[in-house]
Amino acid sequence: MVRLLQFAGQGIIYAAAACLIGYFATAPVYKQFPEGKAQIKLSFAHGANRTKACRRLTSKEIAKLPPNERRPNTCERKRVNVQVQLDVDGTRLLDISLKPIGLAGDGPARIYRKFAVEPGTHMVIARLRDSRSTEGFDYETRREIFLSAGQNMAIDFKADAGGFIFR
């Protein structure tokens, strides 16, 4: 009798453990993103221009270099910051100056940002400057987009492809 009760008790413990595992394996549900909103993700990695233009070395300068390093041009390694703006329906969501990565500041500038927006039609303007000039933008894209709830739209940037890419 005692043994039977013991087995019943073990059954209860096993059942409780199984319920615990079964439940917490998928619940409670986590709301990762506000319901009924859409998302715009702006992300790229882009190397801006060098802080100084390459120039020809004078013959004197070339002569000073060790023979195996002689070359006609010299280029600055460091790049300028990339300036980015993102406007949605006239509101500025982002206006930022991105530093190049790398210890010598010679790498690409990187960005990865997410914005939650209302679903519906939006006017999006993305601007980017990667030249040495201090004002104005080298790239600008305006696009009217339609986002449904839960949609994720990415804005990428590829200079080779002509600028911003909406996808």
Partner 1 sequence: MMDFIRTPLRFVFDRAERGLALVFPPEWNPLLNLGALGFFFYWIITASGIYVYAFFDTGVTQAYDSIEYMTRDQWYAAGVMRSLHRYASDGLIVVMLLHFIREFALDRYRGVRWFSWITGVPVLIMVYVAGITGYWLVWDRLAQYVAIVTTEWLDHLPIFGEPIARNFLSPDALESRFFSLMVFMHIAIPLIALILLWMHLQRVSKPRINPPRGLAIGVMASLLVLSLVHPALSQGPADLAKVPGSIGLDWFYLPLYPILENWPGPVTWSGAGVILVLFCSIPWLPPMRKTQVAEVNLENCNGCTRCANDCPYNAISMRVRSDGLPFESEAVVDPSMCVSCGICVGACPTATPFRRASDLVAGIDLPDGTVADLRQEVEKICQPFKGKNRILMFGCNHGVSMSGLKQDNVRTVSMRCIGQLPPSFIDYVLSKKLADGVVLTGCSENGCHARFGTRWTDARIARERDPQLRRRVPRERLRVVWAGRAGRGKLDTLLRAFTDDLSALPAEKPPVHKASDRKKLMELADG
Question: What are the residues binding partner 1 (CB under 8 A)?
Answer: 5-6, 8-10, 12-15, 17-18, 20-22, 24-27, 29-33, 35, 38-39, 41, 43-45, 101, 107-108, 110, 112, 150-154, 156, 167
Three-state DSSP class for residue 71: coil
Cα separation, 12 vs 152, in Å, equals 46
At its nearest, how many Å lie between partner 1 and the CB of residue 98?
Answer: 12
Helix (H/G/I), strand (E/B), else coil: 11: helix
Name the residue nearer to partner 1 (CB basis): 32 or 121: 32
Task: Please report, for residues 4, 8, 56, 99, the alpha-carbon distance to residue 46 in angstroms, rounded to integers and kept in the order given.
Answer: 71, 66, 26, 11
Closest CB 65 distance from partner 1, rounded Å = 29
Kindly state the smallest distance separating residue 106's Cβ from partner 1, in Å. Answer: 11
Q: Rounded distance, CA 156 to CA 112, Å? A: 10
**Least distance between partner 1 and beta carbon 56 (Å):** 30
Q: Closer to partner 1 by CB, 22 or 72: give it.
A: 22
Main-chain dihedrals φ then ψ at residue 108, nearest 5 degrees: -75, 160
Decide whether 1 or 29 has the Cβ nearer to partner 1: 29
Alpha-carbon distance of 47 to 110, in angstroms, equals 9
Q: Which residues pair with 142 in a beta bridge?
A: 125
Residues for the chain: how many in total? 167
Nearer Cβ to partner 1 (43/97) = 43
| Choice between 48 and 153, CB closer to partner 1 | 153
Min dist CB 27 to partner 1, Å, is: 6
